[in-house]
């Protein structure tokens, strides 16, 4: 990291890491400046400025706050070498994915972290995670949006929370960790990328996205109201993807009636993704209704990417092109599963 201290902006949003005990349970109550008191070592290698965007339990994280984070980073981008976002764990993977689409080609690191136990607790994982996040953000080889948690660096589009209480809460789905951090040292598994374009910021999303999780024998009352209100419907299907007979007739009818609605097939299975060509239940409706599908993208990435696409183009072909564009490792194989 050299002798020159890197300038890092800490953006606090609340979450467990900043929570304190109340009579009704844990609630965010520690400010951005107070959090820094728990990692005094950071002053040895970084010059940190702190700001508070909000103080919410991450259950209450929403696209409007994503856009606030983006605007803050855009306004301060030239002043700082990197950014650390303290965030609750429950929706951190969604925010990391969203920021991957809203801030593209960033040669500066944008790092999300948090904890499973409040930083004021003696047995917390917060101090280690926060310090690791600053170590990674202060390294000149770090870039783009990532999550740093339990010593692992995960691309912003590949992260998923897989444990609700344990310190190793996050995993990288079907893709290697970017790096690991041990004893303050970064061990990288993936090389730094030379971006062909300058950093690009997008400040709007369309959150009229509906997630339809299938269950066996599913029936949907007044499915038309879903098509009528939402701009995109993501079907979280079984296995590699398909629509069950119990709702397929309605789906066919409504896809024809509402041709502007973006339909995307995803899967409830965490690993290996979708492939609607395998079974008749998927192949027929994909061909007839021109579904897009998630392939090896995580569900969090699919949702965030869809919100970003809807806000940036109305053109059906452009939407499809953007959906299959590889951004921050979100698609490994995509439509051509034989070519990386």
Catalytic residue among 16, 91, 95, 157: 16
Compute the distance between CA of residue 58 and CA of residue 193 in angstroms, rounded to an integer: 31
Give the end-to-end CA distance of the chain in Å, rounded to a whole number.
Answer: 32
Opening angle at CA 337, ends 333 and 339, nearest 5: 75
Q: Alpha helices, DSSP H only, in 43-91?
A: 63-76
Quick one: residue 136, left, alpha or beta (phi over 0 = left, psi -120 to 50 = alpha)?
alpha
Strand 152-155 relative to strand 159-161, pairing: unpaired
CA-based diameter of the chain, in Å? 66
Q: Count CB atoms within 10 A of the CB of residue 128.
A: 18
226's CB contacts (< 8 A; 6+ apart) are 210, 212, 220, 233
Q: Is-catalytic flag, 192? A: no
Strand 292-293 relative to strand 262-267, pairing: parallel
For 309-316, the CB contacts below 8 A with 24+ separation are 309/262, 310/205, 310/206, 310/208, 310/209, 310/231, 310/232, 310/262, 311/202, 311/204, 311/205, 311/206, 312/202, 312/204, 314/260, 316/260
Which residues are marked as active site?
Answer: 16
């Amino acid at each position: 990291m050299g002798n020159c201290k890197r300038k890092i902006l800490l953006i606090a949003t609340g979450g467990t890491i900043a929570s304190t005990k109340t009579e009704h349970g844990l609630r965010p109550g520690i400010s951005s400046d107070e959090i820094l008191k728990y990692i005094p070592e950071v002053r040895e290698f970084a010059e940190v400025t702190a700001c508070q965007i909000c103080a919410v339990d991450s259950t209450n994280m929403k696209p409007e706050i994503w856009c606030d984070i983006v605007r803050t980073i855009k306004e301060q981008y030239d002043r700082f070498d990197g950014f650390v976002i303290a965030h609750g764990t429950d929706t951190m993977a969604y925010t990391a994915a969203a920021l991957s689409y809203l801030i593209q080609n960033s040669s500066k690191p944008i790092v999300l972290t948090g904890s499973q136990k409040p930083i004021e607790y003696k047995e917390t994982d917060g101090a280690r995670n926060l310090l690791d996040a600053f170590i990674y953000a202060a390294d000149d080889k770090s870039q783009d949006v990532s999550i740093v948690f339990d010593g692992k660096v995960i691309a912003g589009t590949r992260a998923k929370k897989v444990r609700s209480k344990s310190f190793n809460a996050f995993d990288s789905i079907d893709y290697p960790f970017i790096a690991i951090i041990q004893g303050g040292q970064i061990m990288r598994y993936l090389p730094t990328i030379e971006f062909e374009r300058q950093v690009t910021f997008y400040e709007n999303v369309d959150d009229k996205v509906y997630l339809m999780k299938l269950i066996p024998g599913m029936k949907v009352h007044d499915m038309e109201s879903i098509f009528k209100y939402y701009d995109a419907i993501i079907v979280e299907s079984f296995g590699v993807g398909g629509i069950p007979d119990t709702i397929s007739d309605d789906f066919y009818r409504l896809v024809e009636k509402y041709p502007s609605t973006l339909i995307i097939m995803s899967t409830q299975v965490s690993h290996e993704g979708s492939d609607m060509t395998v079974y008749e239940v998927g192949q027929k409706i994909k061909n007839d209704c021109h579904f897009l599908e998630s392939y090896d993208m995580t569900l969090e990435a699919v949702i965030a990417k869809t919100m970003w696409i809807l806000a940036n183009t109305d053109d059906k072909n452009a939407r499809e092109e953007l959906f299959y564009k590889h951004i921050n490792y979100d698609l490994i194989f995509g439509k051509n599963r034989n070519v990386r």
